[in-house]
Structure 1
Amino acid sequence: MSTHKDKLVIFDTTLRDGEQSPGASMTKDEKVRIGKMLEKMRVDVIEAGFAIASPGDFEAVKAVAQAVKDSTVCSLARAVRADIERAGEALKNANSGRIHTFIATSPIHMKYKLQMEPDAVLAQAVEAVKIARNLSEDVEFSLEDGSRTEPDFMYRIIEAVIAAGASTINIPDTVGYGTPEEYGALFKNVLNHVPNADKAIFSTHCHNDLGLAVANSLAAVMNGVRQVECTINGLGERAGNASLEEIVMAVQTRKDFYPVETTIDTRHIVPTSRLVASVTGFPVQPNKAIVGANAFAHESGIHQDGVLKHRETYEIMKAEDVGWNANKLVLGKHSGRAAVRARFEELGVTFDSPEALNDAFKRFKDLADKKHEIFDEDLQALVSDVKAESVDEIYRFVGMEVNCKTGQKPRAELTFTRLGQSVTTSSEGSGPVDAVFKAIEKEVNSQSALELYSVNAITAGTEAQGDVTVRLARNGEIVNGVGADTDVVAASAKAYLHALNLLESEGRAHPQRGV
């Protein structure tokens, strides 16, 4: 029996498809921070964005391409010249770049979305790959809605785009409709029917509408796929994408079953998960596989007894292998500037100027006065708080006073700045947070709707920082504001003001489309 295992390419699209979650839009600096963490994790391909979507997305792809050296950086592009050339321009300075172009190929998409005949779609796909190939040696082609594409047309278009220069072929389950058996068989049939299939790597990109994204991806791997497109925490539009951590740990844990291996440094999985959650404001559910707070917790007495006697009775992975113990660095109020800066750098955080470092260090000291131990998660939240204030800042939290007494309506008095001018406002509410939000709206009148209010503890203990997410919607635009503080009410005020800043920012909208 051969012990040879093929390399499974891990293609992370957190910065592109993950960002298409309503409200999960990221700034350029946030994308660079996450991109550097993905690079540290040794992700093979990082899809940094959709370069033509907006000037902001173009600059973000360009910045990630310049910052990341050890991973291939990719930009998505529709199968049209303008998109492809814009992607090529954004990737011009990448150490290793890839253009990822796509067109819809299912009958329903071709008829109702593209309003094109199959032969015209095929011709456009081939032309797009040729244009991309002149700009990059690494070209990926995707058949949007591939899982609902007619087999004969699928074979024709794949053969043609490989001949035109595509080296990776992605057949996505765009709408999360597939099942493991049929999705795996799809790839088996493609490899058997496309004459030049051996000239390309085949890729899977699954959405989780039926909760089958990981299962479908692994079924595809068992049928010849050697690239999996996935996201940190399973982030993505609608129900999300296949989860990177689940794919990677399934392959590593079941080495006896899967004929592939990855080069991922799994010790960075949990820290990267926490960073993505902090940046996007999308918390990880406690029972989420691999990265959830309860992923390695045992409450059952039988389970606890078994684990104490022999870990492998109930644990199939080591918590430390995915980074649960790697982020237990403890800093405190006696820690110096050099130690704090060094830890920030290890987390992929750099500062543009000495003033920016001084600001971060001051915030660190303020936090250290409030809580005894500072963990990596606290530092990530601190930086996210700083970045939140730098986004086209119109409103900035200054301070507040909240009065709560049983039997009386809570009342909040809040001070914030608007374009640098101090504003003080007050209001009653059904609770302290409601009073704070009403006080802000009394002055701002944003005409927005509050769609989500979420509070999560960043670390354990009663002195932990509260990480608050506020989702606001207005005129079809959705934003997630984030704020962190040991005082949850203060964190809530910061998150609400951050969301208002995002609503007023320009250039943050991007098309909710893709494969």
Structure 2
Amino acid sequence: MEKRLISLLDTTLRDGEQAPGNAMTPEQKLRLALMLEDAGVHTIETGFPASSSTDFIATQMISSQLKKSSFATFSRALVKDVKIAIDAGGVSDRHLVMLVATGSDLHLKNKRHITREQGLTEIIEAVTYAKDQGLQNVAVGIEDASRGEYDYIESITRTSIKAGANQIILADTTGYATPTSFGDLVRFVRKISGPDIKISTHCHNDLGLGVANALEGLKAGANEIQATLGGIGERAGNTSLEQIVANLYYKGDEYGLYTTARLNKLYKAYITLQDIINLEESRMQPLFGKYVFSTAAGIHQQGILNDPNTYEYVKPQDLDRERQLLVTRHSGKTIIRHLLQENFETHNKDEIDYLYDKFIFNQQSSMCDDLNDFKQKILSELESKSTEEAVL
């Protein structure tokens, strides 16, 4: 089966940065943008130029230094925002201007205080202005699309395309959707838009479904996923970039999809992001967590020492990470045998039992030793025990 290429738009520097504690300087944004480009991310969103001088400068810096990736800017569906975005990023086939449209009656009434008709007029004016300036790539992002009525979603889609937009972004802004409902929405918009319009997903993770919804969107006909490194973003965050890339890497044949983004480049970029925004380290975050490639349980360690495939479907080397075996009170005798053999130490059953009882079985604390530290403990203990026995 021929696989379909999926593009990725990274919004770490815009949507990811909007969350509390995630602010970055233009120089820091540039550093991350270049790392994302090196990882093969197709489009990098630089920020919201009309919102601050910081985002304006970041857009100027990033757009001038990217060599392979395209870049995107965020704007409200207002001519003045589009003008500022163009001033910052220029007019080229590498600049995607993304306009946010109001997609639900809830937002129209209670946030914007405008009618559906006024919302459509905004889209027409902003898209028309962008096209008149020579921009080839104009996207209309439908905010809160997952809670929008289908008739209005259809009106926005048709109006946007007629005005000149060549991309529709469907945003599950509050993490409201399920894979079934989001897939249905994408199929509905794909039927209206036809095959030549790019459809992007922009999902949030409030119910933990950001990745699942985005993947379902791809199956339903979307061409692109918008995501962030580590899934950072408003509230519970966004679709996780690395999890999407990993799913396409490991499950691409099953989905009939692929991406040219490089999984082994993303962890280094994430570590840089952590350092920049002082992001707390997670123990068990998929792919990037501190202990996701670490094993402490004896039965798991026995399997991994015999054949890593027994407990590693996702391979640490695929993410440029390393496997780690840790010794805790849940470890078994296998790890002791392994370490002694590794050091070419001869041993017998009584010695193994003694070391296991002393250092593992009788431990009540939350001890967690790496292998080198633990090896030194047991070798020192054997040496001391041998010396005592010789004296006796």
TM range (shorter): 0.7 to 0.9
User: Cα distance, 1:312 vs. partner?
Assistant: 2.1
Among 36, 39, 43, the alignment partner of 2:41 is 43
1:211-232 Cα distance to aligned partner (Å, 9 max, x none): 1111111111111111000000
> Given that residues 146 and 182 in structure 2 are in contact (C-alpha distance below 8 angstroms), is that contact kept between their aligned partners in structure 1?
yes
Aligned AA for 1:261? Y
* CA deviation string 1:93-148 (max 9, x = no partner): 77721111112120010111111111221121122112122332111110111111
Instruction: Give the letter aligned to residue 16 of structure 1.
Output: R
| Alignment partner, residue 353 of structure 2 | none
Cα RMSD (Å) = 1.9
Match of 1:312 among 301, 305, 309: 309
1:311 deviates by 2.3
1:30 aligned partner = 28
Q: Where do 5+ consecutive residues of structure 1 fail to align?
A: 326-459, 463-515
1:253 aligns with 2:223: no
Retained in 2: the 8 A contact 1:17–1:236?
Answer: yes
Tell me, yes or no, if structure 1 residue 139 matches structure 2 residue 138.
yes
Residues 127, 163 of structure 2: 8 Å contact kept: yes
* Alpha carbons 2:230, 2:241 under 8 Å: kept: yes
**Deviating more after overlay: 169-178 vs 293-302:** 293-302
Give 2:330's aligned residue: none
Partner in structure 2 of residue 77 of structure 1: 75
1:65·1:93 contact (CA, 8 Å) conserved in 2? no
Q: Per-residue CA shift, 1:439-472, capped at 9, x if unaligned?
A: xxxxxxxxxxxxxxxxxxxxx999xxxxxxxxxx
* Residues 65, 94 of structure 1: 8 Å contact kept: no
Assess if the C-alpha contact under 8 Å between 1:66 and 1:93 holds in 2. Answer: no
TM-score after normalising by structure 1: 0.61
Taking structure 1 as reference, are residues 141 and 42 closer, same or farther at Cα in structure 2, changes over 3 Å only? same
Q: Deviations over 1:221-247 (max 9, x none)?
A: 111111000000111011111110011
**Residues 461, 64 of structure 1: alpha-carbon distance in 2 compared, 3 angstrom cutoff:** farther
1:5 aligns with 2:10: no
Q: Does residue 1:233 correspond to 2:221, yes or no?
A: no
- SS of the equivalent of 2:254 reads coil
Structure 2 gaps, min length 5: 323-370, 374-392
Please tell me whether the aligned partners of residues 15 and 31 of structure 1 are also in contact (alpha carbons under 8 angstroms). yes
Q: Secondary structure at the match of 1:17?
A: helix
Which letter maps to 1:187? V
What does 1:127-276 align with in structure 2 at a 5 Å threshold?
A: 127-135=125-133, 136-192=135-191, 194=192, 196-276=193-273
Whether the aligned pair in 2 keeps the contact of 1:208 and 1:240 (CA below 8 Å) is yes
Which letter does structure 2 place at the counterpart of 1:180?
A: P
The one of the two structures with greater contact order (alpha-carbon pairs below 8 A, sep at least 6) is 2
Query: d(CA) in 2 for partners of 1:284 and 1:206?
Result: 23
Contact 1:202 1:227 in 2 (8 A): yes
Task: Find the residue that maps to 2:248 and give its secondary structure.
Answer: helix
Q: How is 1:370-385 mapped onto 2 (pairs within 5 angstroms)?
A: none
CA contact (8 A) 2:39 2:263 kept: yes
- Report deviation, 1:310: 2.4
CA separation of 1:95/1:199 partners in 2, compared to 1, >3 Å: closer, same or farther?
closer
Deviations 1:256-305 (A, max 9, x none): 32121000111111101101111011123120101112111122222222
- The DSSP-based 3-state class of the residue aligned with 1:11 is strand
How many Å separate the matches in 1 of 2:299 and 2:372?
27
Q: What is the aligned partner in structure 1 of residue 274 from structure 2?
A: 277
User: Who is 1:357 aligned against?
Assistant: none
Contact 2:93 2:137 in 1 (8 A): no
Structure with greater helix share of residues: 2
> Distance between the aligned counterparts of 2:6 and 2:127, measured in 1?
24
Identity of aligned residues (%): 34
| Counterparts of 1:113 and 1:35, CA distance in 2 | 32
The structural deviation recorded for 1:163 is: 2.1
**4+ runs deviating over 3 angstroms:** none
Secondary structure (helix, strand or coil) at the match of 1:23 reads coil
Q: Which whole-Å CA distance do the structure 1 matches of 2:127 and 2:280 have between them?
A: 38
